[in-house]
Structure formats: structure tokens, C-alpha cells
Amino acid sequence: MTMEICHAYTHRPIRLSATRRYTWDQVRAMCKRVSGPFSLKVEDKLIPIPDESTLRFACQASAAYHDWVAYNVPEEDGFCEEMAEIERKVLDEMEDTSDYQY
């Protein structure tokens, strides 16, 4: 079975990476970066998405299906965000010491 959100009149799929999980609002944000109209493609059948509430539901369904298919992707444990925060702090400290006179 396949399920994906498509956009534009050519029904181009919103590509989701097989190496990560998505929340529905991440899928919705991806939809905001492309033009409509939108449709949900299930097993080569296109279901039109006429309004925002239907798009929100389609994003929820698409994210849930994708995460079910990508079952072996580890759950996000916050490690990447923690490392990014540590890197920002180190860079801030480096900038603070760059004004130091020897």
C-alpha cells in the first residue's frame, strides 16, 4: 500500500525521507512551501483535498502512515537538539573571548 500527499496539477508527491519520522505539522509545513491544489494519493487513486481542515487531516494520515512504514527509524530522543544547543553555546563563548586582549 502507498499513501502520499500530492500537489500541483501534475500531482507531484511531497517526498518524505525514509530515514526519519514526521509529525503532521512538519508535513503541513512542507505543504506550505509548494503550490496546490492538493490531493491524497492512496494506491494510485487521487482524493481531492478541498480545504484546510481536510489538508490537516491528510497530513495527519500521511505522517502516521509514513511512520508506520519507517518503523525501524529510531524515535527522536532530543540528542540532535541538545548537540545544536551545545554548539551554539560554544560558539557564543568563542565570540566572547575573541575580544580578549593578550
For the chain, what are the domain ranges?
A: 3-74
Which of the pair, 72 or 51, is modelled with greater confidence? Answer: 51
- The predicted pLDDT at position 44 comes to 86
What are the pLDDT digits (tens) for 14-59? 888 877 778 888 889 888 898 889 999 998 899 999 998 999 999 9
- The predicted pLDDT at position 67 comes to 80
> Using an 8 Å Cβ cutoff, are 56 and 28 in contact?
yes
Task: Decide if pLDDT at 71 tops 70.
Answer: no
CB atoms within 10 A of CB 49: 22
Which cell is 38 given?
492538493
Burial class from Cβ neighbours inside 10 Å (0-12, 13-18, 19+) for residue 93 reads exposed
